[in-house]
Amino acid sequence: MTATATASTNAALSGDVRGLDALRGRAARDPQGAVREAARQFEALFMQELMKSLRATVGDGGVLDDGAGGELATSMLDQQYAGQLAGMRGGLAESIARQLERQMGIAGGAATLPPLHASTTSLRSLPPAAWPQGVGAAASARMPFGWQRPQPTGGVGDVGADAVAHPPRIPEQRAAFVQQHLAAARRAETQTGIPAAFMVAQAALESGWGRREIVHADGSPSHNLFGIKAGAGWDGPVAEVTTTEVEGGVARKVQARFRAYASHAESFADYARLLRGSPRYRELIGERSAEGFAQGLQRAGYATDPAYADKLGRTIDATLRLQQPQG
């Protein structure tokens, strides 16, 4: 396949359904090439679904997850990742192509797929600004969900084989977050009857697993893991920051005052007092169902995000898995 054809097909994989029409036309002229291209596209679709499932498993927390527009941007970004990674040597596309060639009686069924053209061999062509949160100067070699970014010291085939041999793992940082706050959450559980894992999950959702914790103007931590605002009845320290609120279905940036604490343990204790002392959250006391807890917070108006309950439910699932022994 020529470099131009490869680049064109990758563009189709990333977001142009007209590529299917081109593939049909090519099948009559070059059956073997069409089979291999179809295998690439199947692999791209599979990888896109895989990334979608992984994002649902580990919850939100990236720079592109702000509302419906952020979800669309994340979906488009995943399409680009899938289109760039599909067809690497040692990947799923080779197995699919060999099976299709055998079933169709096409000669050369044992042949391997040619490597991608140099212009589309890695995700280095994507701008760093478009990468998910955590990919920056301090972690420029990492990809979403713990994947390793392709390095110039290895070939494209090596990268593809490594991706198959080492599947994505839930970041260890999230497991550390759970362990760090589990003791404080268990103390809060004795006050509320709500499982500690549910409260750790909400702290993870509100703080981006500790990466987006509210800070003071001087950069010092507020230790506010639950996004609790400082209302008229709060006489303690505060942190004033810009946050996103959804009003009438429209997201907008507002300046808000949040409570500040001396430690994360104080944040959990104050959260427990809030749930016990506010009539809005009375129905949540003793709630042992993850869905009931998430939906109850949504109904009580804990957050303005209309998808808050769904996000919290996914984060609770991830937190419960992180508490299990890792094989």
Q: Which of 49, 55, 63 is nearest to 145 (CA)?
A: 55
Query: Which amino acid is present at 127?
Result: P
Distance CA 97, CA 154 (A): 24
CB 315, CB 202: distance < 8 Å: yes
Burial class (CB in 10 A: 0-12, 13-18, 19+), 286: exposed
| Residue 259: strand pairing partners | 238
Catalytic site residue from 30, 172, 245, 291: 245
Distance CA 159, CA 175 (A): 27
Distance CA 307, CA 279 (A): 23
Distance CA 217, CA 240 (A): 7
DSSP 3-state of 251: strand
- Total count of residues recorded for the chain: 327
Distance CA 204, CA 243 (A): 17
CB 246, CB 95: distance < 8 Å: no
78 is catalytic: no
Which whole-number Å values give the CA distances from 237 to 183, 257, 276, in the listed order? 24, 10, 22
266 is catalytic: no
Q: Which of 181, 246, 250 is nearest to 213 (CA)?
A: 181
Q: Which of 133, 302, 313 is nearest to 211 (CA)?
A: 133
CB 81, CB 144: distance < 8 Å: yes
Catalytic site residue from 270, 283, 287, 317: 270
DSSP 3-state of 240: strand
Distance CA 308, CA 294 (A): 8
User: Would you please indicate which residues are annotated as catalytic (active-site) residues?
Assistant: 245, 270
